[in-house]
């Protein structure tokens, strides 16, 4: 049984158990491929389901399977760890890869960790409650930079947001291959190759059709390239090209 089929069975089983037991059950953090599988199961689920990654536009998200007639309050079983350098003056310029590498070096399961957001010297790590104490005890250094951490348990009060680079541009038509090609300076054939390789996602759904259009506000992810928010008011240039804005995640 391949990984996709295992993911499908795991999600259906969680929904079935939540319905049978009358309690809310949760998945691990899902990557884009797993979210695409989840979206494909909507007609097969036994319960309603909601996704959250702790903040708006989070990429890695957890599913809550919610049975009908639920009579108690619930919350997602994840927290946010806020890490900062102990000595900011001597801190290195850290990247997402540096932080994730340090966490993986501790032997953690990637599915227990959500998004990692870097804002200047502030690092925000969304993770399952089950591993938060371990991270607090063991996660003390990234490369040569010593860090100190605290837990933000109520993520609803957190003002985490992605940082963008904005680019105004024009595309020949509202087709995903043309949009990707323009955003990442590729040829149309190169963009099409990403689509056929199942490396393109719009709002967490895998897209393989080059003719697929984008709506204003769609989040487009391209594996090995990055992701961006697609914005357009549908206005056209004098030459008939569509005016767009790419909000590229830094």
Give the CA dihedral 53, 119, 223, 165, nearest 10 degrees. Answer: 120
Sign for the pseudo-dihedral over CA of 116, 118, 119, 123: positive
User: What predicted TM-score, i.e. pTM, was given to this entire model?
Assistant: 0.81
Classify residue 71 by burial, with Cβ atoms within 10 Å: 0-12, 13-18, 19+. exposed
Look at the chain and count its residues. 250
Q: What are the residues whose beta carbons fall under 8 Å from the beta carbon of 234, sequence distance 6 or more?
A: 216, 242
**3-state DSSP assignment of residue 220:** strand
Q: Is 6 helix (H, G, I), strand (E, B) or coil?
A: helix
Beta strands in 24-112 (DSSP E): 25-30, 48-52, 61-66, 78-85
Q: Output the pLDDT for position 1.
A: 65
Cβ neighbours for 150, distance < 8 A, ≥ 6 positions apart: 81, 82
Quick one: DSSP state of residue 118? E
Cβ-contact 55, 85 below 8 angstroms: no
122-156: pLDDT as tens digits: 999 999 999 999 999 999 999 999 999 999 877 77
Phi/psi of residue 214, nearest 5 degrees:
-120, 145
pLDDT in tens, 86-113: 998 888 999 889 999 999 999 999 999 9
- From first to last of the 250 residues of the chain, give the pLDDT tens digit: 688 899 999 999 999 999 999 999 999 999 988 998 999 999 999 999 999 999 888 889 999 999 998 878 999 999 999 999 999 888 899 988 999 999 999 999 999 999 999 988 899 999 999 999 999 999 999 999 999 999 987 777 777 777 788 999 999 999 999 999 999 999 999 999 999 999 999 988 889 999 999 999 888 999 889 889 999 888 888 888 999 999 998 7
């Amino acid at each position: 049984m391949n990984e996709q089929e295992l993911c499908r069975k795991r999600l259906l089983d969680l929904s079935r158990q939540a319905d049978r037991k009358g309690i809310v059950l949760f998945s691990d953090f899902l990557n884009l491929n797993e979210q695409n599988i989840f979206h494909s199961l909507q007609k097969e689920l036994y319960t309603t389901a909601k996704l959250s990654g702790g903040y708006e536009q989070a990429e890695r998200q957890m599913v809550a399977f919610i049975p009908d007639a639920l009579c108690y309050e619930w919350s997602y079983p994840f927290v946010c760890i806020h890490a900062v350098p102990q000595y900011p003056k001597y801190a290195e310029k850290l990247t997402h890869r540096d932080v994730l590498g340090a966490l993986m070096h501790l032997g953690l399961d990637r599915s227990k960790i959500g998004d990692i957001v870097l804002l200047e010297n502030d690092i925000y790590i969304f993770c399952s409650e089950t591993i938060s104490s371990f991270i607090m005890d063991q996660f003390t250094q990234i490369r040569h930079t010593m860090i100190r951490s605290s837990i933000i348990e109520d993520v609803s009060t957190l003002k985490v947001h992605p940082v963008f680079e904005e680019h105004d541009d024009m595309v020949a038509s509202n087709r995903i291959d043309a949009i990707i090609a323009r955003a990442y300076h590729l040829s149309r054939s190169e963009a099409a190759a990403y689509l056929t390789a199942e490396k393109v996602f719009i709002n967490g759904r895998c897209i393989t059709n080059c003719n697929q259009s984008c709506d204003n506000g769609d989040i487009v992810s391209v594996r090995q390239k990055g992701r961006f928010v697609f914005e357009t008011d549908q206005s056209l240039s004098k030459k008939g090209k569509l005016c767009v804005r790419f909000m590229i995640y830094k």
